[in-house]
Chains A and B, each alone.
Chain A
Amino acid sequence: MEFFRIKKDIPFMRYALILNAISLITFLAAVFFLWQKGLNLSIEFTGGTVIEVQYEKAAELEIIRNAVTTLGYGEVNVQNFGSSKDVMIRLPLIKNADGTIMSSSDQSKSVLSKLQDIDSSVHLQRVEYVGPQVGEELLYGGIKALLFVVIGIVIYLSIRFEWKFALAGIIANLHDVIIILGFFAFFHWEFSLSVLAAVLAVLGYSVNESVVIFDRIRENFRRFRKLDTPDIIDSAITSTMSRTIITHGSTQMMVLSMLLFGGATLHYFAVALTIGILFGIYSSVFVAAAIAMWLGVKREDLVKIEAKVEKDQARLDDPNYGAKV
């Protein structure tokens, strides 16, 4: 079986301007929603309490919401979680009269007893409490991790290839990250620690994609000495396209499986990965290479370095090596 038997190179770079315009618009839209709506940060970042309870029958959210509101905890968020029987209640941090933060055990206890008054079948599934200090640390930890990844990848790609590729790769993939965040802002999905993990994992993963194409560009520069840069890039993208789709498809199968069977806990994790993988393909194929082209990547940038480092590669440079006549 083979899905992609492409005889002629597809002239991707001819449409580079349009493709990049599309991603620029998506990017700007994402930035706009992030700015306008903001991320719906989970209590892991903001501090607060999440209480998950389970009923024997479908829960009536309105009654629960009213009951919890009477406790005077300010803005409470009550919603179904996974099934109609499971309810998730989010409470903000509450200060006691003396200025100390109310302990989560007090909070969850009073909420649970209130709910038990209404329906005795309710039972506690999970409580998660994050103090304000920890929330702040987690947020900064996340930002630091993101910076670490970006800088680490730029350095690695600069060493392995060239700064133009490094820059192009990281711009393309940060654009993915922003778009994932934009989706979370637009749909008001909860942005939790596991979503952050998914975002960073996908950042590392879709840089792969750029790496594969850059690798091929470098190889093509060595093999086809007569072609100019756009043609080289077109050929590189065309020949790696099959692999790109197959790999991402396989990874997406796994992620889809998590989305379908992983339950509510893994839901947004899988959603973030899905968006990341789909846009990862797009940005690596259409954005990264085009940016590298506009940054003026040349044969000399890559081949010169190669010749020094890997002399024994020379035989592989010969396209006719080992061919049978």
Chain B
Amino acid sequence: MNRYPLWKYAVIGVALIIGVIYSVPNLFGEVPAIQIAPARAGLKIDSRLHEKIDAALQKADLLKSQTGFEELSQEGVIRIRFNDTDSQLKAKDIIEKELNPDQANTDYIVALALVANTPNGLMSINALPMPLGLDLRGGVYFLLKVDMQGALEKKLAALATDARSRLRDKSIRYQSIDKKNSQLFIKFATAEDANKAKDTLIDGIPDMLFESEKGIDSFLLKGIFKQASIQATQENALKQNIITLNKRVNELAVKEPVIQKQGVDRIVVQLPGVQDTARAKDIIGRTATLEARLADPLQSSIGPLDTPPIGMDAFKFGDRQGVFKKGVIITGDRIIDASAGFDQNQRPSVNLTLDAAGGRAMQEMTRENLQKPMGMILFEKGKGEVLTIATIQGEFGSKFQITGQPTTQSANDLALLLRAGSLAAPMEIIEERTIGPSLGAENIEKGFKSLVYGFIAIAIFMLAYYMLFGFFSVVALAVNLLLLIAVLSMLQATLSLPGIAAMALALGMAIDSNVLINERIREELRQGTNPQLAISTGFEKAWATIFDSNVTTLIAGLALLAFGSGPIKGFAIVHCLGILTSMFSAVFFSRGLVNLWYGSKKKLQSVSIG
């Protein structure tokens, strides 16, 4: 009765082999590497680049310490592994020089990284180590909330400008255009103007519904956002901010950054292994938006305490204040690229590229305002700061240059600020975790230690208390750990300290099943049942109980998974999976072991169960 058919052993064998294959990558650790990614869209990772890098490394005699070269076309990066940090650092300088001859205008981002030292054979079947969470390797985690009201306000401002130019095109006279409570109010002197304007605007601005209202001494047209338009604006804002964050994070050259949408208005940013957390925060947390506006042609700057003329805005500009008209020509989200370079006279400049809509707006504006000053204003936390004021030298569209930068460095800085300013809506950090790298290493060690010592303690006790059956239980527990790690690695679940704690707890709880079985067998034996039958009944009777108790534990695990967040999710995933793997190892696998040992002994007199 205590025999397994061959297929059951086969199942166990296959499970063990898979378990070993997928958990083994976690043992190899990490090696120093260099990661190369194109800095601009359009540049590709190809074999020419590969040859170029190889040639450069050959020249520096570093080719022999290079241990691996991967082209990850999906991620669009190249990773080169080295066998020591020394050659990694040297090689970085060489590759940097080779690929980016022009320091001011980099083509490729060359970054130091640590990559898993998994053998290629394992990697080809996707057997990879579990990625470590921020609490284990250090890094920064941000939860950002996109200010959707702000996004709508911005959209409203752009639509107001649009309405203004459309009414002007059709020569419809209006008294004023105001924005209030996410609504547009346009005043007209006559009903005829208001009606004409309504027809024009309904055609021209599909984002809004327009309603006529009778004012006290004027005719009012009220523009209200359509629901679909609000939704689209919010979705776009989120998408755009994610793209901007991606660009900003690229500047940091982090390996495996995570930038994800969460819910309707949130973005998660994870930067593992970032050493300079202050800088990362500065770059990520910069809540900046950019606006291009016409400056006051009469007096583009005033003293720091002066009040601006009526109908004008004043913003900080160095020690003084810049004076600007209220109309916004373009906002930062129209900027596709800003890079430092030189103009035809070899003076430092910033080259800007706008998208089509931005180009049109710019063309229209420059045509009418030749030789007048225009400025770029960066808004951070609601305060505007003038980055530059320059005179419009000619009519231009999507591509133009800003000159007048004294040095290449200042041109570089301006380009960076312009790029940084292209967020669609302001963002706010609502949750943040920064973990220093040494703390991460400490956490791994501590988590691992408690797991190992706990396991050893349980093993010694089980062996002493249940003898051979204790040994079976310990093997089953080890298999449980193996399978748990294998499943987590297969899922590429991020391992965190709560995850390790859950692993330890899962083992501590999983032993429950074996204790139940062993106690049942003992009990049967005490009642004088013959050993073979006792084993069989023990397993059978214990099974119902094990199943019940695992279900209740699983309910708790699922609740944590459903309602927990961040670190708790990591705990819950391991907890739930640990329960599932324990059912396999403690019941199915350990029965297999017992069967293998005792099953064939027909005249079994006693079993070693203490």
Q: B-contacting residues of A (Cβ < 8 Å)?
A: 1-2, 52, 98, 100-101, 103-105, 108-109, 123-131, 133-134, 137-138, 141-142, 144-146, 148-149, 152-153, 156-157, 160, 193-194, 196-197, 200-201, 203-205, 207-209, 211-212, 215, 219, 239-240, 242-243, 246-247, 249-258, 260-263, 265-266, 269, 273, 316, 322-324
Cβ contact within 8 Å between A215 and B544: yes
Q: List chain B residues, Cβ under 8 A from A247.
A: 511-512, 515-516
Cβ contact within 8 Å between B610 and A255: no
Contact of B551 among A101, A156, A243, A324 (CB under 8 A): A156
Asked whether A128 and B432 contact (CB < 8 A) given A265-B443, A316-B541, the answer is: yes
Contact of A260 among B450, B559, B575 (CB under 8 A): B450
Cβ contact within 8 Å between B555 and A152: yes
A148–B557 Cα distance when bound, in Å, is: 10
Q: Which of B552-603 contact A (CB under 8 A)?
A: 552-560, 562-568, 571-572, 575
Majority secondary structure of chain B interface residues (helix, strand, loop or mixed): helix
A243–B552 Cα distance when bound, in Å, is: 18
Contact of B559 among A123, A138, A200 (CB under 8 A): A200
Cβ contact within 8 Å between A129 and B559: no
Cβ contact within 8 Å between B553 and A263: no
Q: Which of B444-503 contact A (CB under 8 A)?
A: 446-447, 449-451, 453-455, 457-458, 461-462, 464-465, 497-498, 501
Q: Is B58 an interface residue (CB 8 A)?
A: no
Q: List chain B residues, Cβ under 8 A from A2.
A: 465, 522, 610
Least CB distance from A101 to B in Å reads: 8
Q: List chain B residues, Cβ under 8 A from A149.
A: 555-556, 559
Cβ contact within 8 Å between B512 and A251: yes
Majority secondary structure of chain A interface residues (helix, strand, loop or mixed): helix
Q: List 19 A-B contacts (CB under 8 A).
A: A52-B439, A108-B434, A131-B430, A134-B431, A148-B563, A153-B552, A157-B552, A200-B559, A204-B552, A205-B556, A209-B549, A251-B511, A253-B454, A254-B508, A261-B450, A265-B135, A266-B497, A269-B501, A322-B533
A258–B509 Cα distance when bound, in Å, is: 14
Cβ contact within 8 Å between A128 and B433: yes
Q: Is B46 an interface residue (CB 8 A)?
A: no
Q: List chain A residues, Cβ under 8 A from B143.
A: 134
Contact of A257 among B450, B527, B530, B557 (CB under 8 A): B450
Given contact pairs A128-B433, A207-B552, a sample of 10 additional A-B residue pairs in the complex whose CB atoms are under 8 Å apart: A125-B436, A149-B556, A201-B505, A201-B557, A209-B549, A246-B465, A247-B512, A250-B511, A265-B135, A273-B505
A29–B192 Cα distance when bound, in Å, is: 78
Cβ contact within 8 Å between B432 and A194: no
Least CB distance from B143 to A in Å reads: 7
User: Which of the candidate stretches B26-34, B171-179, B278-286, B314-322 sits at the interface with the other chain?
Assistant: B278-286
A204–B562 Cα distance when bound, in Å, is: 15
**Chain B residue, CB-CB nearest to A251:** B508
Cβ contact within 8 Å between B571 and A145: no
A124–B568 Cα distance when bound, in Å, is: 24
A134–B141 Cα distance when bound, in Å, is: 14
A247–B514 Cα distance when bound, in Å, is: 9
Cβ contact within 8 Å between B516 and A212: yes
**Chain B 380-398 interface 0/1 with A at a Cβ cutoff of 8 Å (1 = within):** 0110000000000000000
Q: Is B231 an interface residue (CB 8 A)?
A: no
Q: List chain B residues, Cβ under 8 A from A249.
A: 461
Q: Is B438 an interface residue (CB 8 A)?
A: yes
Cβ contact within 8 Å between B453 and A208: no
Least CB distance from B359 to A in Å reads: 35
Cβ contact within 8 Å between A266 and B458: no
Asked whether A208 and B553 contact (CB < 8 A) given A126-B439, A160-B548, A260-B450, the answer is: yes
Asked whether A257 and B560 contact (CB < 8 A) given A126-B435, A196-B568, A265-B446, the answer is: no
Contact of B553 among A109, A138, A205, A261 (CB under 8 A): A205
Interface residues on B, range: 35 or more
Cβ contact within 8 Å between B504 and A257: yes
Contact of A124 among B285, B434, B529 (CB under 8 A): B434
Cβ contact within 8 Å between A211 and B549: yes
A149–B507 Cα distance when bound, in Å, is: 21
7 smallest beta-carbon distances between A and B, as pairs: A204-B556, A254-B508, A257-B454, A131-B430, A208-B549, A254-B454, A145-B563
Cβ contact within 8 Å between B559 and A197: no
A181–B96 Cα distance when bound, in Å, is: 57
A323–B559 Cα distance when bound, in Å, is: 45
Cβ contact within 8 Å between B511 and A1: no
Asked whether A266 and B446 contact (CB < 8 A) given A197-B560, A243-B515, A255-B508, the answer is: yes
Q: Is B519 an interface residue (CB 8 A)?
A: yes
A148–B61 Cα distance when bound, in Å, is: 63
Q: Is B523 an interface residue (CB 8 A)?
A: yes
A26–B455 Cα distance when bound, in Å, is: 33
Contact of A250 among B458, B552, B564 (CB under 8 A): B458
Q: List chain A residues, Cβ under 8 A from B205.
A: none
Asked whether A200 and B434 contact (CB < 8 A) given A141-B564, A251-B512, A265-B497, the answer is: no
**Chain B residue, CB-CB nearest to A240:** B519
A262–B339 Cα distance when bound, in Å, is: 49
Least CB distance from B30 to A in Å reads: 22
Asked whether A263 and B551 contact (CB < 8 A) given A257-B457, A322-B533, the answer is: no
Cβ contact within 8 Å between A254 and B505: yes
Cβ contact within 8 Å between A263 and B442: yes
Q: List chain A residues, Cβ under 8 A from B462.
A: 250
Asked whether A156 and B545 contact (CB < 8 A) given A144-B563, A145-B563, the answer is: no
Q: List chain B residues, Cβ under 8 A from A266.
A: 446-447, 450, 497, 501
Q: List chain B residues, Cβ under 8 A from A133.
A: 145, 430
Asked whether A141 and B278 contact (CB < 8 A) given A124-B434, A257-B453, A273-B505, the answer is: no
Contact of B552 among A208, A273, A323 (CB under 8 A): A208
Q: Is B429 an interface residue (CB 8 A)?
A: yes
Cβ contact within 8 Å between B285 and A138: no
Q: Is B300 an interface residue (CB 8 A)?
A: no
**Chain B residue, CB-CB nearest to A215:** B545
A193–B135 Cα distance when bound, in Å, is: 15
Cβ contact within 8 Å between B557 and A204: yes
Least CB distance from A164 to B in Å reads: 16
A196–B568 Cα distance when bound, in Å, is: 9
Q: List chain A residues, Cβ under 8 A from B464.
A: 1
Contact of A263 among B443, B454, B461, B566 (CB under 8 A): B443
**Chain A residue, CB-CB nearest to B429:** A103
Cβ contact within 8 Å between A131 and B431: yes
